[in-house]
Structure 1
């Protein structure tokens, strides 16, 4: 898995002279956007009903893993209540064309596809205006001061990290929160033990794979949250769940959870700890969290 190197800020501003797809001579457009090579679900704007010249002014953040090879893919669709949504046009922007920190406006002529020899691409499909800027992540300056230690007070392992100075902390703004759920130990359900982990933060919920019939599951899965400001006064909840392989009444049950204060993560830049699970007899979960600023 490639390490993130930066964040692309995308502002979808407007479209102009989009094709007509509906029976009433108009369209209900929305824009879908993603970076090439990314497995995460695409982001999308709201739908503008009955509008061939829609204004969105909606902003999105995308995590960059390879600035030289990735491109921003923008697809404009006509929303339909029934059936598949019609494609109005698309365009791509190589990330190498995007300026660092300073927003740059692009007016893109929409095409049917990326095949330069396709005669359908000669047909006008309207224009899409976006504003783009690239924000590289700062190099990790929070080096470990010594190897993994055991905290006697809690009986858990954690890496001891050299703290940044107060000026660096106050300058924390946008950045990337990287949460890696390594695994768990001694988790056990009353009816079944097929554990998976839920990562819950700011109304979003991410889920690891399920490990069948295991009290010591190993996931090693990373989840990314692009934030406009440092989560200094926030918590993230990680809950271990179990689910029966076949549908039945009470098919899910909680095996324990932990709420992690993120101020320590922002201040240290990185934690790697084993936490005792609440509402679990002996359960422990191993989590690594990094905060990388732009």
Structure 2
């Protein structure tokens, strides 16, 4: 028997009242850490050393610095044969975890057997706290090293010790005592700039097939990185074939790759013959910002032949006629369309001014589920990743804690309020050589936030497992959306969601799905190559890769979303049927009287409709939601899905069923149903957008619509009916 899912209240938001940092104003700038709890840190900056003695028999000195505070020890890199090393590294110790009273900074000489001690500097923690006010780092100064007996030596060490908070500029790059090493530092990443590459293959001239006794069946294959597309076989079976087909790719800056085009002749069903190859560097491709046509160009084709066992290129008289351009007027989507964090076109020249600033304080997490075993006990090394637009922010990894405290704050520019920020929590498994485990993620839609208000809530981390939905813990966030221009923000509601090129020259659904998958691969590959890396499985989880795969649970949820959005029309239909059948005679009589009045005075129809909408929207203001929305397990059918449905959803693609016939039919059903599911989801989204005009979920959009209804009702009320037809 399946375990009964927990009650819905366990998955609800909880409003918190943490002791956030006070807002400090310095001119027009506010404190960058006023959405998190202030945390005290002891900072130790080791800059350089000089006049270090040589302890080795060879007369060389390979020094390194070591900072020790109680049980915490930080070792900095060593220099070979250098008596004047320079480290310029910072260590940070949380005040809550400090149990020692003495801080020791020592310099040692690295040796094969045993490292030699060169000298040290000792600090009394209580003296540092008295003489250095918080958030006021001292300038580094020289300290004479002393031996273990306290005798002063000739060599010196430049360092600085001070008390500060996470607002200190040294915080992001510091080594933290409560965090993992290099792989656990906080880091800000930027996604690569993505472009659509359009290749319009028009025709080819003077092709030379090897077998001239047959009509060639010519096609063009285009390859860009891991993307490969082909045209259809030309209908003109000649050496001058024509296609006039568009091939769309995703390219990322910097443009290091080449577009490789090969003209091929299909001589057999499973055999092709290359008639010519052309390589085009992307940095020389034209940029297009609007719908104006790009000039066509003829490109020379080359052929690879073997001469004395060496592959050489031979220029041919053959040419290919194409129109190649990088599209800057489109938005390259690499995340789920329902939770997009950016709608701007690629070209920066087409961007509009920002409408505000989004600030997110990642405070802490509570009750995290243990994700692995370490030394025979269950634990978690948790870190957070926040993604909005092209900017990714990663907190430091708090090791061995189910209740980590990060208290880190990040800021994003907002260009469209109808966007979503995604925040995920992960377990760092890099040291174990495994994939980082996903703990959960949440999403916050900016249009549901009131401007200049601080939201402090604890969000449940929900993950769907084959056994059902499971709560993996809670993450505590502080969020503020600040509006910089109310006029620009209101103007965004009158603009289309996507850039105009998506409507002038729309792309097909198949093209968008394919290019979204390629864009996700490019972003995950680039971010996984950063230092420290943002691993591929983390990026794919944040971008919802694989969300298009068929699931009966998602399809049922989308169906009931549509039914819920159309519930008002269904209710009106049932009410009209009751009137026609005289279920309530008094109501039927009153409706007939109203109908006669509207027939006599038809100019009252539209004013009454808009007045009714205005009244409904005004009444809904009283019951408007006070907290930002969060995942509802009832809407997504995650809490009552059947075991067979979950088994199908978590099945591999292709299916792992043993029978070949079942596998073929099953995969075909999932592929077709996936498209139907996408259409149902889009229809449900549009229905919910219309329904939300009166719900005050987006206070700005509802306010505009309600006032429009009032003004329209007044204008139509005072305007004679004859002017309507005019």
Q: TM-score, normalised by structure 1?
A: 0.54
Equivalent position of 2:83 in the other structure: 52
1:106–1:132: 8 Å Cα contact kept in structure 2? Answer: no
Equivalent position of 2:469 in the other structure: 282
Matches of 2:443 and 2:116 in 1, distance apart?
45
CA offsets per residue over residues 35-70 of structure 1, 9 Å max, x none? x34x5x533332121112222233343333389974
Equivalent position of 1:122 in the other structure: 151
Call closer, same or farther: CA 1:222–1:68 in 2, change over 3 Å.
Answer: closer
Equivalent position of 1:211 in the other structure: none
Call closer, same or farther: CA 1:262–1:206 in 2, change over 3 Å.
Answer: farther
1:105–1:131: 8 Å Cα contact kept in structure 2? Answer: yes
1:257 to 439, 446, 458: 439
State the Cα distance separating 1:269 from its structure 2 match.
8.1
1:239–1:258: 8 Å Cα contact kept in structure 2? Answer: no
Matches of 1:105 and 1:137 in 2, distance apart?
20
State the Cα distance separating 1:178 from its structure 2 match.
5.3
State the Cα distance separating 1:30 from its structure 2 match.
1.4
Structure 1 or 2: larger helix share? 2
Equivalent position of 1:231 in the other structure: 410
Equivalent position of 2:64 in the other structure: 30
Tell whether 2:381 aligns with 1:198.
yes
Call closer, same or farther: CA 1:71–1:124 in 2, change over 3 Å.
Answer: same
State the Cα distance separating 1:5 from its structure 2 match.
4.3
2:442–2:459: 8 Å Cα contact kept in structure 1? Answer: no
1:9–1:134: 8 Å Cα contact kept in structure 2? Answer: yes
CA offsets per residue over residues 222-264 of structure 1, 9 Å max, x none? 3558x6xx334684532499xxxxxxxxxx8998522457999
Matches of 2:470 and 2:133 in 1, distance apart?
47
Call closer, same or farther: CA 1:232–1:84 in 2, change over 3 Å.
Answer: farther
Structure 1 or 2: larger strand share? 1
Call closer, same or farther: CA 1:254–1:91 in 2, change over 3 Å.
Answer: closer
Equivalent position of 2:632 in the other structure: none
Call closer, same or farther: CA 1:182–1:87 in 2, change over 3 Å.
Answer: farther
CA offsets per residue over residues 52-92 of structure 1, 9 Å max, x none? 22222333433333899744331212223x33433222222
Tell whether 2:49 aligns with 1:11.
no
Give me the CA root mean square deviation.
Answer: 4.6
CA offsets per residue over residues 69-125 of structure 1, 9 Å max, x none? 744331212223x33433222222232233441423332222233xxxx3xx32626
Tell whether 2:138 aligns with 1:103.
yes
1:197–1:239: 8 Å Cα contact kept in structure 2? Answer: yes
RCO comparison, higher one (Cα < 8 Å, 6+): 1
Matches of 2:158 and 2:444 in 1, distance apart?
37
Equivalent position of 1:83 in the other structure: 113
1:182–1:288: 8 Å Cα contact kept in structure 2? Answer: no
Call closer, same or farther: CA 1:22–1:204 in 2, change over 3 Å.
Answer: farther
The runs of 5 or more residues in structure 1 that have no matched partner are 139-166, 188-193, 209-218, 242-251
Matches of 1:196 and 1:89 in 2, distance apart?
38
Matches of 1:240 and 1:33 in 2, distance apart?
25
The runs of 5 or more residues in structure 2 that have no matched partner are 1-36, 168-355, 372-376, 385-393, 413-421, 447-452, 479-726
Query: Mean alpha-carbon deviation: is it higher for 67-76 or for 24-33?
Result: 67-76
Q: TM-score, normalised by structure 2?
A: 0.25
Matches of 2:53 and 2:38 in 1, distance apart?
37
Tell whether 2:459 aligns with 1:273.
yes
1:103–1:131: 8 Å Cα contact kept in structure 2? Answer: yes
- Rg larger in structure: 2
Tell whether 2:369 aligns with 1:184.
yes
Count of matched residue positions in the alignment of Structure 1 and Structure 2:
216
State the Cα distance separating 1:15 from its structure 2 match.
0.9
